[in-house]
Structure 1
Amino acid sequence: MDGRYAATASWHEKTGYKLTFWGQNNDPAKIKMSAARAYYTPLDKSTGWASMEVQTNEHYDDEVQATAAGMLEGSLSWQLIYFHWQNTVGTTCKKRANACEKIKGILESNYNKVKQSAVRYKNENSFWYQVNLIYAQLEGLHEGWKTGKDRSLGKMIHELTFTDFLWMNHADDVRDIEMMLDITSNHSAYFIKPPADLAVLKYLPTSDSQFLIAHQRSGLYTEMLRMMKRYTFGFHDMPGKSSNLVPGQQISFTSYPGAVLSQDDFYQIKGGSRLQIVSSRIRVHSPKTWKHFHDLTVFSGARAMVANRLSVNSGSWASFFSKYNSGTGNKAWLVMDHRAPDPNLWLVEQVPAFTNKTDITDSWKQKGYWISCGIPDSEKALRFSGLEDPTSGKRDMDYMTSIRDILESGIVEVTNTDTMHALVANPSLVAKVRGDIVGNGMAASNAANPTSTTPSSPTDNVGIFRKQPLQGKFLDKKQKIVSATQDPELPAYNGVIDTKLAYDISDFKAVAGPLYTLNEATIAPFQWSKASPPKGIYHIGQPDVWDFPPVHPNFVW
């Protein structure tokens, strides 16, 4: 058995939807299409990734395509979805019932109002038409999950609600909602340690693709059940089969179980457009900006997916994304258009009540690189974020500035994916962004004389950075924590949880799990069985040792 599962969704106006499961050992080319078909690989514990590929048939109504796609994904990956829910939403709501009710109330209210607007305007507005399809897919995902669960276990496990799926899809927005409601205390390392998202885009004019990207997502270690996904949908820009197909017909991305959006915000888009998109979080420290939040706005992940489908270039992506800003899920987005002979790059920075949209192509090419790690480039966005506030934002600013300094010190040596990987996995950086190593994540960045990382010669282990003494806390060869600054009050199971490397719109490599140095004797891979997480930190279904190499997606269509 090959461990890969296939299914088909059919639809008839009289009988509705029917799912047919083909089991394993299929020839992907021979899997029937009908309304939609899917190919699923459960979590591969040799790579740390699961895989989901879904295709839909453009000759069916778009809403039928969306619902069928969701049903296939939910039914095939139901178990991984349940594990992810247990590790995240289910766990946090056990400890914070009152806070969760407030969050769920906001999610439900937003869904009801946005869905109402989408249904009302879908026949006259392409933005709302695509929003409606996103929620149709999500509704199908929930129905498919129930089908998959009932086929396997009947009533033996907890029934997930549609609100649970809203939470899993809008997790980044939920974090900002928690800050807005001031219900973050004693909950998550995410709110104690600054986010360590980063995106590095190197300009290489003499190479075939002319660019290299490294992208890292920070999060809780409980969120490390990961999936590579590819959606090839036959959606149209407006209702009716005579309407044009959307430019973004094929979207490849890294994601999570139970989500129809990336949340990592690593997207490669092909069809009538050729876009590479990455983001880094912007944490908002200015309480007064939260007054701009209201229910009739569209959460950030959904707006990004609308832009992915409708945009023909970087500028139009920025325009679509900036509509109906929720002020939650605040991030800086790098949007590269790779259709022209020369790539074009836009920066899109969202904070509450403001979106900065700037063509930074000339700056990127003149400088030779662009680094995004949570500090807004726009003065207005920086002011709205509150990061310059000496009482609340300065710590984040200092931390993220130290990360940027490390990256800038080695970016000149980057010429290929190996040297780019070495840059983002060098000891000084890993020590900052591995929460289980540095505790509160600030010891290394606050050191009086932080250790710089010296790039090796191109012939020395393909650009691996030389081992340097680390300041703060780090792992010795026996994986014991060595520290003079341990703070037992601060949760530590958070930090960078993946690395993606791209050199072409058609392909990428990804590393699952917390960073470790390429010379494993310097900083070893994370291992749950040798960790001592506090009670309530779940990792159901996850691998034990996170020592995975970079892997390419194994898509078949």
Structure 2
Amino acid sequence: MLKVVGASWQKTRIGTYILIGAGLLVIGAFFISYMDRPKYNGTYCATAIWSKQTGFHIEYWKQQNDLLNIPKGAARVCYKDSIYENGWAQIEVETQRTYPDWVQAFGAGILEGSLTWNNIYNQWKNTIESSCERDENSQNFCTWLRDLLCENYIRIKETAVQRGEHDHYWHQISLYFSQLEGLETGYIRGASRARSDLEEEIPFSDFLLLNAAADIQDLKIYFENFVANATNGTASDDREDHKVLDEGVTSMASVVVPPHTETAAEPKNFFLPSATMLAKIFQTPDSPTWRLLFGHSTAGSYSSMLRIQKRYKFHYHFSPNIRSNTVPGVDITFTGYPGILGSTDDFYIVKGRQVQSIVGGVGIKNENIDLWKTVNVTEALPLVARVMAANRIAQNRRTWAKAMSRHPFTGCKQWITVDLNKLRPQDNLYTMLAEDEKHDDAALPLNAADEAAINERHNRNKGLVWIVEQLPGRMHLKDVSERFLTGANSTWIANGVPYFDEMLQASGVTRDETSELNTHQALGDDDLTNLEAVDQFMRKHGFRGDLLGEESVAYGNIDIKLFSYNAQIGISDYHAFAGPIFIRLQHMKPRQTLTESASLESSASVDEPKVLASHLKDERLSVSIDDAAQLAELERITERRSVRNDMHAIVMRQHSSGPFKWSGVADYITDVEHQGHPDEFNFPKVTPRWAW
């Protein structure tokens, strides 16, 4: 056509080439449109590369599907922010043993901070920043707390340098703060890389404050009773020695007491419903193998519900010497929050060289404010750093408990830790003989072989379960394996009341109906045979502060974690639910038929509240706060009291309320920050899938 209109041969050839090229592009686009494109699930990965000459260099790999082949470097990380999808973000960090420990720790911190910087900012904004600026009292407390934490940080670093070479515990404490320093560096780098114009910068003191979340309840009580009054000139100096001689209790002697006041005024204490924890070890009729069921529900402020599942696979050594052995607890999985390097939920799954264990904790009540007279808070270590150090260096549950007994200054806590490696197949002789020993008239003389078998089983099971309790300045720890293996009931419930009589007496708390839930009848022990039954129990005994009508508070049980272990096949099952708990009707009758399901739906509104009320009638929950975000709620509760007498009414509202929605409480909960939160917390269970 070009030739017809008089174009030259050169122009004709050029035009022809253009037409052919356009045609090929059309054909190529057609085929490309039908080609399979890689689908990404939002997982972002990065690697920290380090050398003595150049220091740290971070390689970002954008979205990845092939996680196994992410370059290792000194540390590598993969992170997925799926909070709007299932209520949890997920992060996995791995370090390499061939690098110095401080390089592993700092590199891991940089990687985590650079990928999670946005959620770190939101968590800080929702909790620390909003709570500390709430009023003058909150500002005074946060100023004092920041100064205290910064001074303690300097002292801890100096002590770690002096003792870390020969003290395994102090070496791990040092690495915790090295990781925290890396986290701050990574946060700054991540925000800068994203070219984000944040309204405020997060000072390092607030990174310390985030990581002291588990101590804030105690430090708030200490501040109100011994610091705030002292500034008014009513304090007097005092020095008191406190010695505990009972077996299993850490001795504290010659502790300097800060100034405190002795007035007739009622001491200030702060109570909210505690976290709940359940553990059961049992045998099935058809198998001699022991099984473990474990449930844990965190109590916290709704503003803190930016949740994250973390797995730290850190190949630290026992000492700064890179030639020393790696620690037993290399692989630690826990539930936590952005910007915090441990689980302030107090829920850990620990694995490693000859170690496989679970660690759980809840806050316990303390009505004896005078215990603080024996404590110098300037010597305190953050509770979460102590737990992570114990998780890493402990070779068994006894050494874990001993590590936890160091520096028991803050953190009114009750811990249970189970050695899963000791849940090995057993025959029924041990249980049968143990039962017979309870009745003198039924006991028969044992021959040497039977007696040796019993002793062997006692030694085998020793160290299976330890319970550790801490009050200000004191700690009680004990092997309670026989209570789980030979008692009439193997189920144990922790709900804020001290377990050991010595700690109960020291705390000034009295056992009531609420604390007797660890009886066989109250628990319905025969029905607790699977995780679904544990899930039901945790939900029935949970607390929702947004269901209190005009007096609603943004506080309650904000998750459920469920864990089981079958020793016969060596397989564990773990999953978690995010958000304030609510009754899931579909879980009330497992394995029901379609006919039964239809019948349940038609009668649920009539029958279920009665069933639920039978479990909760006349129960009184008291308050225990163990999260930094709960500062916003502290000023609302300024005296000792029970939250509610009529738990039946709360259950009725909880049954009909369904999932929590921020838009549903906007009219009566207006002063709680929740940046980055989904509106509705109605998520299925989540089982993290790890790559490494």
Range class of TM-score, shorter chain: 0.7 to 0.9
Q: How far apart in 2 are the matches of 1:113 and 1:148?
A: 29
Aligned-pair distance for 1:319?
Answer: 0.3
Q: Does 1:290 align with 2:290?
A: no
- Secondary structure of the 1:358 match is strand
Q: Does 1:420 align with 2:518?
A: no
TM-score of the aligned structures, taking structure 1 as reference length:
0.84
The answer for the alignment partner of 1:34 in structure 2 is: 73
Look up the equivalent residue of 1:525 and give its one-letter code: P
Equivalent pair of 1:203/1:368 in contact (CA under 8 Å): yes
The answer for the alignment partner of 1:221 in structure 2 is: 302
- Secondary structure of the 2:85 match is coil
Q: How far apart in 2 are the matches of 1:321 and 1:506?
A: 26
Look up the equivalent residue of 1:276 and give its one-letter code: I
Look up the equivalent residue of 1:217 and give its one-letter code: T
Matching residue within 677, 682, 685 for 1:542? 677
The answer for the alignment partner of 2:408 in structure 1 is: 325
Q: How far apart in 2 are the matches of 1:518 and 1:289?
A: 42
Matching residue within 308, 312, 324 for 2:391? 308
Matching residue within 373, 396, 402 for 2:495? 373
Q: How far apart in 2 are the matches of 1:109 and 1:383?
A: 34
- Secondary structure of the 2:81 match is strand
Equivalent pair of 1:8/1:72 in contact (CA under 8 Å): yes
Equivalent pair of 2:342/2:385 in contact (CA under 8 Å): yes
1:492-526 CA-to-partner distances (Å, cap 9, x unmatched) read: 11011110000038541101011100128734111
Equivalent pair of 2:411/2:472 in contact (CA under 8 Å): no
Aligned-pair distance for 1:266?
Answer: 0.7
Aligned-pair distance for 1:408?
Answer: 3.1
> CA, structure 1 residues 339+402, in 2 after alignment: closer, same or farther (shift >3 Å)?
closer
Equivalent pair of 1:411/1:423 in contact (CA under 8 Å): no
Matching residue within 356, 378, 384 for 1:274? 356
> CA, structure 1 residues 512+406, in 2 after alignment: closer, same or farther (shift >3 Å)?
farther
> Once structures 1 and 2 are overlaid, which stretch shifts more, 58-67 or 8-17?
8-17
1:533-552 CA-to-partner distances (Å, cap 9, x unmatched) read: 54430111111111122211
The answer for the alignment partner of 2:689 in structure 1 is: 554
The answer for the alignment partner of 2:634 in structure 1 is: none
Matching residue within 419, 422, 436 for 2:546? 436
Matching residue within 547, 552, 555 for 1:494? 555
The answer for the alignment partner of 1:347 in structure 2 is: 467
- Secondary structure of the 2:421 match is coil
Matching residue within 104, 112, 115 for 1:73? 112
- Secondary structure of the 1:204 match is strand
Q: How far apart in 1 are the matches of 2:363 and 2:500?
A: 15
1:144-178 CA-to-partner distances (Å, cap 9, x unmatched) read: 00110111135433111111111111111012100
1:177-231 CA-to-partner distances (Å, cap 9, x unmatched) read: 001111899xxxx975433211100112237661100011101111111000000
The answer for the alignment partner of 2:659 in structure 1 is: 525
Q: How far apart in 2 are the matches of 1:220 and 1:400?
A: 22
Identity score, percent: 34
Q: How far apart in 2 are the matches of 1:143 and 1:268?
A: 28
- Secondary structure of the 1:85 match is helix
Looking at both structures, which has the greater relative contact order when contacts are Cα pairs under 8 Å and sequence separation is at least 6?
Answer: 2
The answer for the alignment partner of 1:253 in structure 2 is: 334
Equivalent pair of 1:194/1:399 in contact (CA under 8 Å): no
Aligned-pair distance for 1:368?
Answer: 1.5
In structure 2, runs of 5+ residues without a counterpart are 1-39, 229-267, 425-460, 566-570, 587-604, 606-654
Aligned-pair distance for 1:355?
Answer: 0.8
> CA, structure 1 residues 340+142, in 2 after alignment: closer, same or farther (shift >3 Å)?
same
The answer for the alignment partner of 2:209 in structure 1 is: 167
The answer for the alignment partner of 1:60 in structure 2 is: 99
Alignment of 1:93-104 (within 5 A): 93-95=132-134, 96-104=138-146
Q: How far apart in 1 are the matches of 2:520 and 2:299?
A: 17
- Secondary structure of the 1:274 match is strand
Alignment of 1:470-509 (within 5 A): 488=551, 492-504=553-565, 506-509=572-575
The answer for the alignment partner of 1:12 in structure 2 is: 51
The answer for the alignment partner of 1:196 in structure 2 is: 274
Equivalent pair of 1:222/1:538 in contact (CA under 8 Å): yes
Equivalent pair of 1:201/1:369 in contact (CA under 8 Å): yes
Count of matched residue pairs: 491
Q: How far apart in 2 are the matches of 1:166 and 1:405?
A: 41
Equivalent pair of 2:350/2:358 in contact (CA under 8 Å): yes
Equivalent pair of 1:300/1:330 in contact (CA under 8 Å): no
The answer for the alignment partner of 1:211 in structure 2 is: 292
1:345-396 CA-to-partner distances (Å, cap 9, x unmatched) read: 10000111211111111112222111111111112212232324xxxxxxxx
Aligned-pair distance for 1:554?
Answer: 2.4
Q: Does 1:122 align with 2:132?
A: no
The answer for the alignment partner of 2:222 in structure 1 is: 180
Aligned-pair distance for 1:250?
Answer: 0.3
Look up the equivalent residue of 1:35 and give its one-letter code: A
Q: How far apart in 1 are the matches of 2:130 and 2:214?
A: 17
Q: How far apart in 1 are the matches of 2:346 and 2:192?
A: 32
The answer for the alignment partner of 2:150 in structure 1 is: 108
Equivalent pair of 1:36/1:56 in contact (CA under 8 Å): yes
Matching residue within 495, 501, 507 for 1:385? 507
Q: How far apart in 1 are the matches of 2:122 and 2:128?
A: 10
Look up the equivalent residue of 1:9 and give its one-letter code: A
Look up the equivalent residue of 2:524 and give its one-letter code: G
1:427-469 CA-to-partner distances (Å, cap 9, x unmatched) read: xx24xx11111x3xxxxxxxxxxxxxxxxxxxxxxxxxxxxxx
Equivalent pair of 1:374/1:400 in contact (CA under 8 Å): no
The answer for the alignment partner of 1:91 in structure 2 is: 130
Q: How far apart in 2 are the matches of 1:512 and 1:420?
A: 16
Rg: which structure is higher? 2
Equivalent pair of 1:253/1:268 in contact (CA under 8 Å): yes
Look up the equivalent residue of 2:480 and give its one-letter code: I
Aligned-pair distance for 1:258?
Answer: 0.3
- Secondary structure of the 1:425 match is helix
Q: How far apart in 2 are the matches of 1:501 and 1:516?
A: 16
Q: How far apart in 1 are the matches of 2:139 and 2:208?
A: 17
1:456-494 CA-to-partner distances (Å, cap 9, x unmatched) read: xxxxxxxxxxxxxxxxxxxxxxxxx5xxxx5x3xx5110
Matching residue within 19, 40, 43 for 2:82? 43
Q: Does 1:336 align with 2:418?
A: yes
> CA, structure 1 residues 218+246, in 2 after alignment: closer, same or farther (shift >3 Å)?
same
> CA, structure 1 residues 204+117, in 2 after alignment: closer, same or farther (shift >3 Å)?
same
Equivalent pair of 2:554/2:669 in contact (CA under 8 Å): no
RMSD: 2.2
> Once structures 1 and 2 are overlaid, which stretch shifts more, 528-537 or 93-102?
528-537
Look up the equivalent residue of 2:332 and give its one-letter code: I
Q: How far apart in 1 are the matches of 2:497 and 2:165?
A: 39
> CA, structure 1 residues 39+202, in 2 after alignment: closer, same or farther (shift >3 Å)?
same
